[in-house]
């Protein structure tokens, strides 16, 4: 492989459909996705992801933010057909370049994985095969899909490792995952994920398990790779700072639903959902001295015990009686923004207070 | 590093052998009857019996006999068989290959049986295949090996005469052929345990993040199953296999008798009936060493399969 292999336009891998005209419809379209599970020891099924819809355009980076248990990881896994045992897709559609991945069966998924869409995981220690050398893991899938010879594979592995900023790749690639540092492991995983030059990378909190300096390096690496190769990112995290650094658009998930979406700049300037507002307030800022961090009171509802109406209303300072019943669909606010809050105006005034605090 | 580890494990053989011989030497004399009388027959005069016992050194007190035995042992001498005109060591060397080969057949056979069954069960836990494999395994565990052996003889020796019903043959091809049914008997008795352990670890592996990531990379289902699933499941299964093979060293006694194989197990039974003490002691020693070696090989295989394991 020659240098700059990630920059080159795709020349291999069969196109599934003719390229979409000028970015529309999106590269990935998720429509009404609903995922259900059985809570431990129960027979009934509960929706953990309900009616989630979004688009990702070619070359775009989208953040998906929410706390643990909000369903963001399951959303990612559902897209690639990687739901854990017990979780099933109850409804909705996932289309990649127009091809439905949910109803297309295993073959359409298999064709898209790796070359079209791939995913990087939170914990590289558990996401890498513990008993196989990392050099082999980087190229084992790509080798078959792209028909590389053994020799080509090892050259590609070296090149990918170098491209991920791994120093002394010859030595590193012959090691096993447990012999690497956390940061190196994550670089190895990213190299493996990108071996087939996918057009969309789903990132499941890829920096959460790393310490802060390494986090910054990995985020910088992802930003660089994205610029070079025009790949799209769907970045799941609970770290708003990372979203601000990497993404153009943001969607906020709470209790299995998207409660707000819009451009990163606009949402950060003026959130239109009290939950988003709470998240932004809870983010520490090195430029201001505070005695105490502002948290969101209460805790996220357990799966299967989500309150009626707006799931956030028991924790919300703006909640009124109307919030405790009925459906709370996302309402379009224009300019690509949407919120599920029925008190958007009150939220806007509360957010002005946010600016004042800063 | 590896050589030191192996050397240290082999050194462990010394206390094991000492303990085994001590236990055996004293317990074997609790068995009623004496070798001279069983050799000379019921009509032998007491003086003839006493003379033979003296010739064999059996007139000494047992601790003295034990001391003499140990003295010979450290000089590499297992003594003379009382009944065969041969040294014990010579007898054992002739019989050992049969038993070793039988164990290899059993180990290989159980892997051949278990891997597909465990895979079938683990691919859809709780599905029809999983339940069928579980039922077959439970039935398999409940069947004693002498009965399984007899059934196989009736089935493949008499009803569908494909394999010899017993004996070891004269040539190497016939040796290999005649060990198929005995090996299968061993494999059938080990497989249920192995299937169970493989199934559990395979389900765990297939539900792991590294398998999800392999799929996300676009690895083909066969690569995911073999290089990610089975490769990791083998790590746990190899110890189960090793422990069971070690255990089976003893059960070759039964299987060799069912199939009339001239191995150590059948010699053991005959020697006990004859009160041929030196031979019984020799075979027991060989069995003890075999078990220790099987466990050592298991640990080595474990370290080869899992790079995280450090032999210390």
Residue B117 has pLDDT above 90, yes or no: yes
Percent pLDDT > 70 in chain B is 100
Within an 8 Å CB–CB cutoff, is residue A206 touching chain B?
A: no
Residue in B237, B238, B236, B245 with CA at minimum distance from that of residue B106: B245
Residue B207 has pLDDT above 60, yes or no: yes
Would you call A123 and B209 a contact, using CB atoms and an 8 Å cutoff?
yes
SS3 string, chain B, reads CHHHHHHHHHHCHHHHHHHHHHHHHHHHCCCCCCHHHHHHCCCCCHHHHHHHHHHCCCCCCHHHHHHHHHHHHHCCCCCECCCCCCEHHHHHHHHHHHHHHHHHHHHHHHHHHHHHHHHHHHHCCCCHHHHHHHHHHHHHHHCCHHHHHHHHHHHHHHHCCCCCCCCCCCCHHHHHHHCHHHHHHHHHHHHHHHHHHHHHHHHHHHCCHHHHHHHHHCCCHHHHHHHHHHHHHHHHHHHHHHHHHHHHHHHHHHHHHHCCCCCHHHHHHHHHHHCCHHHHHHHHHHHHHHHHHHHHHHHHHHHHHCCCCCCC
Would you call B210 and A127 a contact, using CB atoms and an 8 Å cutoff?
yes
Within an 8 Å CB–CB cutoff, is residue B212 touching chain A?
A: yes
Residues of B in contact with A77 (CB under 8 A): 212
Per-residue model confidence (pLDDT) at position A200: 96
Residues of B in contact with A81 (CB under 8 A): 215
Per-residue model confidence (pLDDT) at position A355: 57
Phi, psi of B231, rounded to the nearest 5 degrees: -60, -40
Residue B135 has pLDDT above 50, yes or no: yes
Higher pLDDT, B32 or B224: B224
In the predicted model, what is the mean pLDDT of residues A30-44? 88
Q: Which domains are assigned to chain B?
A: 2-74 (no CATH), 90-305 (1.10.3720.10)
Per-residue model confidence (pLDDT) at position B223: 93
d(CA A64, CA A58): 17
Would you call B232 and A129 a contact, using CB atoms and an 8 Å cutoff?
yes
Whole-number Cα distances in Å, B122 to A40, A347, B42, B143: 21, 51, 62, 24
Residues of B in contact with A118 (CB under 8 A): 216-218
Within an 8 Å CB–CB cutoff, is residue A174 touching chain B?
A: no
Within an 8 Å CB–CB cutoff, is residue A175 touching chain B?
A: no
* Minimum CA–CA partner of B215 in chain A: A113
Out of A124-128, B38-42, B235-239, pick the least confident: B38-42
Q: What is the pLDDT of residues A195-225, one digit of tens each?
A: 999 999 999 999 888 888 889 999 999 999 9
Smallest CA–CA distance, residue B224 to chain A, in Å, is 9
pLDDT, averaged across chain B? 89
Would you call B213 and A192 a contact, using CB atoms and an 8 Å cutoff?
yes
Within an 8 Å CB–CB cutoff, is residue A201 touching chain B?
A: no
Would you call B212 and A121 a contact, using CB atoms and an 8 Å cutoff?
yes
Residues of A in contact with B217 (CB under 8 A): 113-114, 118, 140-142, 192-193, 195-196
- Mutation target vs A (from B125, B216, B227, B233; most A CBs, 10 A cutoff): B216
Out of B75-79, B138-142, B207-211, pick the least confident: B75-79
Within an 8 Å CB–CB cutoff, is residue A77 touching chain B?
A: yes
Q: What is the pLDDT of residues A230-244, one digit of tens each?
A: 899 999 998 888 999
Smallest CA–CA distance, residue A26 to chain B, in Å, is 21
Within an 8 Å CB–CB cutoff, is residue A128 touching chain B?
A: yes
* Minimum CA–CA partner of A197 in chain B: B217
Within an 8 Å CB–CB cutoff, is residue A141 touching chain B?
A: yes
Per-residue model confidence (pLDDT) at position A25: 63
Residue in A235, A162, A226 with CA at minimum distance from that of residue A199: A226
In the predicted model, what is the mean pLDDT of residues B209-234? 95
Confidence of residue A11 (pLDDT cuts 50, 70, 90): very low
Within an 8 Å CB–CB cutoff, is residue B218 touching chain A?
A: yes
Would you call B219 and A114 a contact, using CB atoms and an 8 Å cutoff?
yes
Q: Say if residues B192 and B140 touch (Cβ distance below 8 Å).
A: yes
Within an 8 Å CB–CB cutoff, is residue A199 touching chain B?
A: no
| ipTM value | 0.87
d(CA A234, CA A29): 12
Within an 8 Å CB–CB cutoff, is residue B123 touching chain A?
A: no
d(CA A119, CA A96): 14
Nearest neighbour of A144 by CB, restricted to B216, B220, B228: B220
Put the strands of the sheet holding A46-56 in their side by side order: A46-56, A28-37, A88-96, A99-100
Angle between helix B277-305 and helix B13-28 axes, rounded to 10 deg: 150
Confidence of residue B259 (pLDDT cuts 50, 70, 90): very high
Residue A320 has pLDDT above 80, yes or no: yes
d(CA A56, CA A233): 8
Six token digits for residue A114: 């790796």
Residue A13 has pLDDT above 50, yes or no: no
d(CA B286, CA B281): 9
pLDDT, averaged across chain A? 86
Q: Say if residues A66 and A76 touch (Cβ distance below 8 Å).
A: no
Per-residue model confidence (pLDDT) at position A22: 45
Give contacts of B 253-312 with A, CB under 8 A. Answer: 305-308
Per-residue model confidence (pLDDT) at position A16: 41
Six token digits for residue A63: 């953040």
Whole-number Cα distances in Å, B165 to A95, B169, B174, B189: 63, 11, 12, 19
Would you call B219 and A144 a contact, using CB atoms and an 8 Å cutoff?
yes
SS3 string, chain A, reads CCCCCCCCCCCCCCCCCCCCHHHCCCCEEEEEEEEEECCCCCCCCEEEEEEEEEEECCCCEEEEECCCCCCHHHHHHHHCCCCCCCCEEEEEEEEECCEECCCCHHHHHHHHECCCEEEECCCHHHHCCCCCCHHHHHHHHHHHHHCCCHHHHHHHHHHHHHHCCCCCHHHHHCCCHHHCCHHHHHHHHHHHHHCCCCCEEEEECCCCCCCHHHHHHHHHHHHHHHHHHCCEEEEEECCHHHHHHHCCEEEEEECCEEEEEEEHHHHHHCCCCHHHHHHHHCCCCCCCCCCCCCCCCCCCCCCCCCCCCCCCHHHCCCCCHHHHCCCCCCEEEECCEEECCCCHHHHHHHHHHHHHHC
Residue A15 has pLDDT above 90, yes or no: no
Q: What is the pLDDT of residues B273-302, one digit of tens each?
A: 888 888 988 999 999 889 989 999 999 999
Within an 8 Å CB–CB cutoff, is residue B126 touching chain A?
A: no
Residues of B in contact with A189 (CB under 8 A): 213
* Minimum CA–CA partner of A191 in chain B: B217
Residue A237 bridge partners (DSSP): A65
Q: Where on the phi/psi map is residue A294: left (φ > 0), alpha (ψ -120 to 50), or beta?
A: beta
* Minimum CA–CA partner of B207 in chain A: A84
d(CA B201, CA B234): 8
Within an 8 Å CB–CB cutoff, is residue B46 touching chain A?
A: no
Per-residue model confidence (pLDDT) at position B121: 96
Could you tell me how many residues make up chain A? 358
Within an 8 Å CB–CB cutoff, is residue A84 touching chain B?
A: yes
Residue A49 bridge partners (DSSP): A35
Q: Say if residues B192 and B138 touch (Cβ distance below 8 Å).
A: yes
Smallest CA–CA distance, residue A283 to chain B, in Å, is 30
In the predicted model, what is the mean pLDDT of residues B61-73? 86
Within an 8 Å CB–CB cutoff, is residue B4 touching chain A?
A: no
Give contacts of A 29-58 with B, CB under 8 A. Answer: none
Within an 8 Å CB–CB cutoff, is residue A197 touching chain B?
A: no
Per-residue model confidence (pLDDT) at position A10: 41
Residue A332 bridge partners (DSSP): A338
Q: What is the pLDDT of residues A238-290, one digit of tens each?
A: 888 899 999 999 999 999 999 999 999 999 988 999 999 988 888 877 676 66
Residue A324 has pLDDT above 60, yes or no: yes
Higher pLDDT, A346 or B1: A346
Give contacts of B 66-105 with A, CB under 8 A. Answer: none
Out of A167-171, B66-70, B253-257, pick the least confident: B66-70
Would you call B217 and A195 a contact, using CB atoms and an 8 Å cutoff?
yes
């Amino acid at each position: 492989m020659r240098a700059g292999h990630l920059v080159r336009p795709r020349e291999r891998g069969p196109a599934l459909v003719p390229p979409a005209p000028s970015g529309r419809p999106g590269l990935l379209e998720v429509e009404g996705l609903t995922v259900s599970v059985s809570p431990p020891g129960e027979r009934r099924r509960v929706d953990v992801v309900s009616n989630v819809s979004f688009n990702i355009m070619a070359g775009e980076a989208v953040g998906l933010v929410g706390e643990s248990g909000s369903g963001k990881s399951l959303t990612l896994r559902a897209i690639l057909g990687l739901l854990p045992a017990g979780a099933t897709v109850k409804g909705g559609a996932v289309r990649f370049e127009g091809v439905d991945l949910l109803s297309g069966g295993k073959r359409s998924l298999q064709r898209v994985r790796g070359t079209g869409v791939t995913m990087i995981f939170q914990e590289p220690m558990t996401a890498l095969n513990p008993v196989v050398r990392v050099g082999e893991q980087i190229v084992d899938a790509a080798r078959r899909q792209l028909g590389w010879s053994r020799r080509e594979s090892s050259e590609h592995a070296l090149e990918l490792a170098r491209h991920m900023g791994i120093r002394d790749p010859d030595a590193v690639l012959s090691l096993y995952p447990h012999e690497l540092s956390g940061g190196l492991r994550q670089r190895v995983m990213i190299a493996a994920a990108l071996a087939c030059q996918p057009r969309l990378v789903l990132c499941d909190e890829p920096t959460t398990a790393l310490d802060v300096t390494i986090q910054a390096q990995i985020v910088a690496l992802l930003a660089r790779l994205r610029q070079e190769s025009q790949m799209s990112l769907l970045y799941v995290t609970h770290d708003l700072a990372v979203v601000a650094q990497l993404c153009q658009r943001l969607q906020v998930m709470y209790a299995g639903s998207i409660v707000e979406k819009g451009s990163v700049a606009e949402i950060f300037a003026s959130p239109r959902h009290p939950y988003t507002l709470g998240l932004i307030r809870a983010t520490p800022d090195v430029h201001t001295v505070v005695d105490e961090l502002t948290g969101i009171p209460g805790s996220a509802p357990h799966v299967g015990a989500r309150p009626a109406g707006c799931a956030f209303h028991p924790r919300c300072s703006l909640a009124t009686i109307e919030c405790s019943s009925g459906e709370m669909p996302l309402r379009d606010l224009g300019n690509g923004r949407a919120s599920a809050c029925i008190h958007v105006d009150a939220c806007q005034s509360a957010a002005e207070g946010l600016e004042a605090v800063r | 590093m590896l050589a030191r580890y192996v050397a240290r494990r082999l050194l462990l053989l010394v206390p094991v052998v000492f303990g085994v011989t001590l236990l055996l030497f004293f317990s074997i004399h609790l068995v009623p009857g004496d070798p001279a009388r069983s050799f000379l027959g019921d009509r032998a005069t007491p003086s003839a019996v006493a003379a033979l016992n003296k010739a064999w050194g059996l007139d000494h007190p047992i601790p003295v006999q034990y001391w003499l035995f140990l003295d010979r042992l450290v000089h590499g001498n297992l003594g003379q068989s009382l009944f065969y005109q041969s040294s014990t060591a010579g007898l054992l060397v002739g019989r050992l290959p049969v038993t070793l080969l039988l164990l290899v057949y059993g180990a290989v056979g159980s892997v051949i049986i278990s891997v597909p069954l465990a895979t079938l069960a683990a691919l859809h836990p709780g599905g029809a295949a999983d339940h069928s494999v579980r039922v077959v395994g439970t039935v398999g565990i409940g069947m004693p090996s002498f009965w399984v052996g007899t059934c196989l003889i009736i089935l493949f020796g008499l009803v569908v005469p494909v394999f010899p019903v017993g004996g070891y043959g004269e040539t190497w091809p016939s040796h290999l052929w005649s060990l198929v049914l005995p090996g299968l008997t061993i494999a059938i008795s080990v497989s249920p345990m192995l299937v169970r352990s493989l199934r559990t670890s395979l389900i765990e592996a297939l539900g792991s993040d590294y398998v999800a990531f392999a799929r996300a990379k676009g690895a083909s289902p066969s690569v995911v199953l073999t290089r990610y699933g089975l490769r990791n499941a083998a790590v746990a299964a190899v110890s189960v296999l090793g422990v069971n093979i070690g255990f089976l060293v003893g059960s070759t006694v039964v299987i060799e008798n069912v199939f009339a194989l001239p191995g150590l197990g059948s010699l053991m039974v005959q020697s006990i009936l004859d009160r041929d003490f030196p031979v019984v002691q020799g075979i027991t020693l060989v069995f003890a060493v075999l078990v220790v070696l099987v466990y050592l090989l298991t640990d080595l295989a474990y370290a080869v399969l899992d790079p995280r394991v450090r032999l210390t």
